[in-house]
Chains A and B, each alone.
Chain A
Amino acid sequence: MALKILTEHIDKPGIETFEVYRKHGGYAAVEKALKKMTPDEVVEEVKKSGVRGRGGAGFPMGMKWSFLAKPEGVPRYLVCNGDESEPGTFKDHFLMKTIPHLLIEGMIVSSYALGANKSFIYVRGELMYVIRILEKAIAEAKAAGFLGKNILGTGYDLELVVQPGGGAYICGEETALLESLEGKRGNPRNKPPFPAVKGLYECPTVVNNVESISNTPWIINNGGDAYAAIGIGRSTGTKLISASGHVKNPGVYEITLGVPVEEFIYSDEYLGGIRDGHYLKAVVAGGSSVPILPANLITKTANGEDRLMTYESLSDGGFATGTMLGSGGFIVMDETTCIVRNTWNFSRFYRHESCGQCSPCREGTGWMEKVLQRLEHGQGNERDIDLLVNVAKRIEGNTICPLGDAAAWPVASAIRHFRDEFEWHVRYPAEAARKGAVYMPENVLV
């Protein structure tokens, strides 16, 4: 049985309550950090752990913390990003609703490390029931003396506020999230200045994902070195993977980074393989934004090596033959999936979620959706495929925030790996327009 850092106690009855969580060792990290460690020592352990941002970007968390400006007399803020809206990703939803105190314990330890006295947990508004679970847990922690004034008699004060979003994917981008938290439209900010210097209310701010923060109690209890010993290379620790699509056992899995992708898909310990009578066609490994890979490239790299569930191995080969670990939203598609239809679906998502601030994204996402829609419905022509590649290229890198890239990559990668299937839609329009029709490209199937 693999080591579980986040989900070890997830099945214990009543784990959502303070009492049961505490009985299983909960809040020990708060006691240790606040009573026996300085804030800098906490930062040091998180740095040593090598834990990387679990929201998708994979930036080292300790390094992000060390960038935080600390001018005299200016408040600093920690904001937890629980906006989880990346298609294919539902791990933070699962973690917060099942074991809310883990995030709260992590928020206390992390806020202490950063010198924040008021911290925010921003949760997408659709998860109002989760917000209520978190608020109840916060009240319990406060009643037990772990939040509020003079926590555990150490003189440290902390208040936690849970903030609802309003239904906007873009607010998962950290500066859009801060705008939203200030009561504005979620338009991402130009950087610099980075939030570490000028974030919430123009004060130095760190924004971290739910899963990232939830790792800190274990790191404090066991030490950064112990965490760094788990996993492979710069992919340290464990990762929550949200698995969906055509597998036997969809759900949230905590894996040790380094598990082979093939084992993750086919072993009974994880996804249990593709649903009966079907076979693997493609995988989107890290949420809808990352490049899609055909079956042969998801389990093996272009060099024929086993592909592993790590940041490095999944991106091996760059975008030509690789992808990204991203948020860990692992979407599995069998041979019944029409790649053109799925790409159209994703492109509609990005058109819907573009904030409209930058022209390449605002206009380009709409164009891609329209062109994909006509291809899928047998109304496209040969030039449309290159047009899509062209538009994707003109969006990528030309926008304030990464939503533009996120919209471009699924389209560009689908054409890169499944061009035959797009061409088939042009060549056989009547068949392509038939409901449920799927092209079977022999060359990309294992």
Chain B
Amino acid sequence: MTGSIAAIGAGLAVIGAGIGIGQIGGHAMDAIARQPEATSKIQTAMIIAAALVEGVALFGVVVALMK
């Protein structure tokens, strides 16, 4: 096996981000389907939550970059 194990760490962090943002998007779509007139509020909240989850995943990527 060549390369560094930091790449595996970064990949695991990104799996976490993918699952998290996928859940956010899925629940947001359910909410929009239930109440289409609240779409813009739900969308705003979804984007904010996605940015926060992505921030956490990027902590992992930054640590992997250090190596």
User: Do A and B come from the same complex?
Assistant: no
